[in-house]
Structure 1
Amino acid sequence: MNSALVVIDVQCGLFDPEPRPADADAVIGRINQLAQRARAAGAPVIFVQHERAGGLEADSPAWALHPQLQVQPGDHHIRKTTPDAFLRTGLDEVLAFSGVEQLVICGYASEFCVDTTTRSAAAHGYAVILAADAHTTHDKPHASAALIRAHHNATLPEIVSFGPQIRALPAAEIAFSE
Structure 2
Amino acid sequence: MNQLHDNHTHSGQREPLIDWNRTALVVIDLQKWIGQQYAPYSAEAVIANAAKLTQLFRSHGAFVALVHVSSKDFKDMLSPKLDTAPPKLNLVEGWDEFVPELGVTETDHIISKKQWGAFHGTDLDLQLRRRNIDTIVICGITSGIGVDTTAREAFQHGYDIIFAIDAMTGFTKAEHEHVRDVIFPRMGRIRTTEEVLKGI
Say whether the 8 Å CA contact 2:46–2:168 is kept in structure 1: yes
Question: Are 1:67 and 2:86 matched, yes or no?
Answer: no
For the 8 Å contact 2:54–2:102, the answer to whether it is kept is: no
| d(CA) in 1 for partners of 2:55, 2:147 | 21
Q: What residue is the counterpart of 2:163 in the other structure?
A: 130
Q: Structure 2: 5+ residue runs without aligned partners? A: 1-18, 75-87
Question: Does the CA-based 8 Å contact 2:32-2:98 persist in structure 1?
Answer: yes
Counterparts in 2 of 1:79 and 1:134: CA distance versus 1, 3 Å: same
State whether residues 25 and 54 of structure 2, in contact with CA within 8 Å, keep that contact through their aligned partners in structure 1: yes
1:51-102 CA-partner distances (Å, limit 9, x unpaired): 3538588xx6111111222222211001111111110100001111221110
Structure 1 Cα separation of the partners of residues 108 and 185 of structure 2: 31
Q: After the TM superposition, which segments of 4 or more aligned residues of structure 1 sit over 6 Å from their partners? A: none
Structure 1: distance between partners of 2:129 and 2:70: 24
Does structure 1 residue 146 correspond to structure 2 residue 165? no
**Equivalent in the alignment of 2:28:** 8
Tell whether the 8 Å contact from 1:56 to 1:63 is kept in structure 2 after alignment.
no
2:29–2:67 Cα contact (<8 Å) kept: yes
The normalised TM-score by structure 2 is 0.73
Which residue number corresponds to residue 124 of structure 2? 91
Q: Which residue of 2 aligns with 1:46?
A: 65
Q: TM-score, normalised by structure 1?
A: 0.81
- Partners of 2:102 and 2:59 in 1: how far apart? 17
Instruction: Work out the percentage of aligned pairs sharing the same amino acid.
Output: 34
Bigger CA radius of gyration: 2
Alignment root-mean-square deviation, CA: 2.2
The one of 101, 107, 111 equivalent to 2:144 is 111
Match of 2:196 among 161, 174, 178: 174
Q: Distance in 1 between matches of 2:174 and 2:60?
A: 33
